[in-house]
Structure 1
Amino acid sequence: MKLKSLILGSVAAAGLSTAGFAADLGVLTSLDVCDELGLSGLTISSDTNCLQISGEVKYQFDWGNWKGSYAIAQTNFLGNVNIDVPDTAAGVSNDWDSRVQSYLKFVGTAGSDFGPAQAVLKIKNDNRVRSTNGVAVETEDGTFVKIDEAYVQVGDTTVLTAGKRGSIFNKGDDEPFNTLTGLFISQRADTGVVADENADFITPKRGGHVIQLWSNIGEGLIAKIGLENLNSDGGGVILAGHPLMAAQAISGGSRAGTLVGVLDYAGSGITAHISGAVGGLLDGVQTSGDSYQLHTGVTATFDAFKVRGALAVGGGYDAVRAASYSYWNGLVSAEAKFDMFKIALSGEAAGGTASTGVALDTDYGFGGQFGATVAEGIEINIGGRYFNDGTPGVGDGYQVAAQLIASLTETIKLTGEIGVYGHAADVAPAVVAAATSDFYGKAELAWTPGGGFSSSVGATVQQNGAYKVTFKAAKAFQ
């Protein structure tokens, strides 16, 4: 009994000593503040603040011969969908990419009379070296650490945010359910309907330096409003031949100041939103940086069925031609899940009017997928997509694919895929070209042993001679 009391007393003394030492450093080992605020994960608490720390490191290495490209689909204002093509010139070397992406995020939270008050700081690094035919070119942010987010925020049901961060613009509820191949226009539109603020300068620049306010109205409805891109980011050059605008330089200042408004809804098996943005407001002058965009989407779930519809419309001003342009992009998708299999069908279309007043040809496409669980841990998927180029004489594009996913163990998964890309012949009045196709096969072995760690190795081989071997590894913590 005396020995037990001595041991317990020693442990207690050690604990009090440690706590006292931590208190001298201004840090408490108690997590009472974090508990009171309902915060968890990797945290450090003081007497008034809870600091949450999260981060991730990702590495990817690609090696092979794949840096050429061939257009399978030519969307009218979003650009081409390309497949890889090898470089077969004499004396060329292999291609490779080596990329490390990492970030650290710190969120300091304290209570206030208006709700949780937060300061958020996220730093990241994207160090990437690309090599084409043995010639290395370093891109992205190189070895520099970048402040990706730095903002303050306060509130609970009504929240005020100011600083540097992403946009409140909601561009969800628009991805097609046939995920094996997707859709051609959707792939170019950042997987969905066009919402990328860097899509050839045709949409308002968002995020960056912001002042944002959102409020929970109730019954699943949230309203948001914000001023974004107050740091005048997003300048560039429109090249000759752009389908919507004349060739010209667009400054960051002409795009500065984007007003964003959003209504979000979630409830009763339905998620929906409507987002609007008007850019180029700060200079008070009508310039080529002035543009607008509307993005809306809805997803409804009924037992085993899901239905989704999305639409993006927008436009802007062309100062060279002293005229406006506009565009639209719509998508519908449906999915049915049963005990052993699922079916997904999708359709899309896009068009617009150039600043010359000429209407763009309407592009459209379809896609579908059938999936089945044939045995425990084994799944097969068969799918395809088709693209109709509205330009007279330009051939249509397509892809057909079959996929096998096998869970070899609880932590190891094997994915294999075979398929073919194709493009029909181009005829007059387009530049005449023969039909082409390219068969491919790829496989990936993924390992997720736990602890937030994941890794994979995969390879792709194409009929045209292109090939690529890819290794990935990642670990996140919070």
Structure 2
Amino acid sequence: MKLKSLILGSVAAAGLSTAGFAADLGVLTSLDVCDSLGISGLTISSADNCLAISGKVAYEFNWGDYKGNWAPFALAARAGTRNVIDNDAGATADLNNDWETKVETWLKFVGTASSDFGPASATIKLKSITQTVFTNEGAPTVGGDATTNGAGSNGAWIVDEAFVQVGDTTTLMAGKKGSVANFGDDEPFNWLGLFNSDAVDKGVMFAKDHPRTGGHVIQVVSSLGNGVTVKAGLENLDRDSAVGAFGGFYDGVTAAQSAGTLVGVVEYAGEGIAAHVTGLAGGILDGVVEDWAVHAGVTGTFDAFKIRAAGAYSANNVNDTYWNVLGSAEGNFDMFTIALSGEANGGTNNGVALANQAGFGASVGATVTEGVRINLGGRWFDENTDVANTEGYQVAAQVVAAVTETITLTGEIGVYGSTRAVVAPASQTDFYGKAELGWKPGGQFESSLGAEVHQNGAYKVTFKASKEFK
């Protein structure tokens, strides 16, 4: 006991002596500021600021005969043109190949320090897109083109995000960034998804960008506890008349009139339940609400089952309306997964009713052996429920096999079809097949090589490679 007491006393004395010596020399004895703020990854720290750095480079190359200017077959609009690739019908022989090359890059810096109100940060995200597209080998005599698209100008770096943020359970944000609007909990569970859902960015949605969100914003997000979060934002403050007149959803509304969107969100995340309601009022800066919209979704997870319901509604001040609803369910039974989904939408244009549309989809997935999974699915869509022969469909089968821990092989065969009458050379069906070899060796590097061919003569080979760091 005496020896133990002597050792403990010596250690304590040495610790006090070292601490005093360190204090005399001004040595920092606290945790690194990034650790104290709970920030990990690629960081640089000073005495009171932590700079987190992240970024990504993604490359994609496509080659083949896939950018034709004729309808591949008479599918309903939602079911056809957004899902089937075309060959260049009518193109001069030896001048019908298409290709495109794209490099997308972003670099993000987040500088964070502590404050009396919680962490205070400034975010800057730079982005560049360089893309060159050739149709029909760029030959204008056969309707081809060579176009280049970029963020700003081709390959130019632009400021994609630049905003400040402060707070913990309640956060204030201001600057250039994305929206606080929640448009989630609305994607179908079935493997192929749904046709109209694909057309509006995987879910239920009103006309794209109406009301407009994000851009220059002032936002507040607050957690109320018990899984409830509320959000409010004044967004789209940077619209100006130089952009020109709006078309499409608006009739004669200028860009300046559409400036300013008020966003409000209530979210809940609890045991097995996720739900939200998002409301938007657009164009409020001129004192007149040009358009407004509501988006809601709920997902429930109960042991082996999941159910989802979602809906969206929008309107403007020239009697245009749009509604869209979706329901989906999924069950997991040992090696099988079964999913069913349905959707419907409609609306008015200048007060005149548009055609009501509806669709459904179903799929069965099975893990047949370790690392091998089979998916079978189909989807159907009716462009006008009051008129005969306006339907389109897709049926497909897929095999996903993990060849090794880093290599995955995916194969798919299927057919798109239509009940519409057709005129040659179009067809009521388009059988297709595609395969992809994916490689993920680690280090956030991903690459893939894929190819697809279609009955209508179209074909495409795609190579992708990307690396993210954070």
TM-score by length of 2: 0.86
> What is the correspondence of 1:20-419 to structure 2 with a 5 Å cutoff?
32-68=32-68, 70=71, 72-75=75-78, 81-88=82-89, 89-91=91-93, 92-135=95-138, 136-141=146-151, 142-179=154-191, 181-195=192-206, 197-198=208-209, 203-232=210-239, 248=252, 250-285=253-288, 290-318=290-318, 324-355=319-350, 357-390=351-384, 392-419=387-414
> What is the correspondence of 1:428-443 to structure 2 with a 5 Å cutoff?
436-443=428-435
- Contact 2:381–2:391 under 8 Å retained in 1: yes
Q: Flag the 1:238–1:161 CA change in 2: closer, same or farther, 3 A.
A: closer
Structure 1 window deviating more from structure 2 (434-443 vs 212-221): it is 434-443
| Among candidates 438, 445, 449, match of residue 446 of structure 1 | 438
Q: Flag the 1:445–1:79 CA change in 2: closer, same or farther, 3 A.
A: closer
Rounded Cα–Cα distance in structure 1 between residues aligned with 2:426 and 2:390: 9
Output one character per residue of 1:398-455: Cα deviation in whole Å (capped at 9) or x when no partner. Answer: 000000001000000000000000111249xxx9998611000000000000011010
Q: Flag the 1:407–1:233 CA change in 2: closer, same or farther, 3 A.
A: farther
Q: Flag the 1:370–1:29 CA change in 2: closer, same or farther, 3 A.
A: farther
Rounded Cα–Cα distance in structure 2 between residues aligned with 1:373 and 1:269: 25
- Contact 2:200–2:208 under 8 Å retained in 1: no
Rounded Cα–Cα distance in structure 2 between residues aligned with 1:464 and 1:79: 13
Output one character per residue of 1:11-66: Cα deviation in whole Å (capped at 9) or x when no partner. Answer: xxxxxxxxxxxx9xxxx999710111111000000001000000111000000011
Rounded Cα–Cα distance in structure 1 between residues aligned with 2:244 and 2:325: 27
Structure 1 window deviating more from structure 2 (432-441 vs 413-422): it is 432-441
SS of 2:155's partner is: coil
Q: Flag the 1:145–1:424 CA change in 2: closer, same or farther, 3 A.
A: same
Q: Which residue identity does 1:115 align to in structure 2?
A: G
Rounded Cα–Cα distance in structure 1 between residues aligned with 2:255 and 2:162: 21
Q: Does 1:421 align with 2:423?
A: no
RMSD (Å) for aligned C-alpha atoms = 2.4
What percentage of aligned pairs have identical amino acids? 55
- Contact 1:276–1:294 under 8 Å retained in 2: yes
Output one character per residue of 1:157-193: Cα deviation in whole Å (capped at 9) or x when no partner. Answer: 00000000000000000000013x2101101111000
Rounded Cα–Cα distance in structure 2 between residues aligned with 1:102 and 1:29: 39
Q: Flag the 1:343–1:64 CA change in 2: closer, same or farther, 3 A.
A: same
**Residue correspondences, number:** 428
- Contact 1:176–1:346 under 8 Å retained in 2: yes
Output one character per residue of 1:258-281: Cα deviation in whole Å (capped at 9) or x when no partner. Answer: 000000110110000000101011
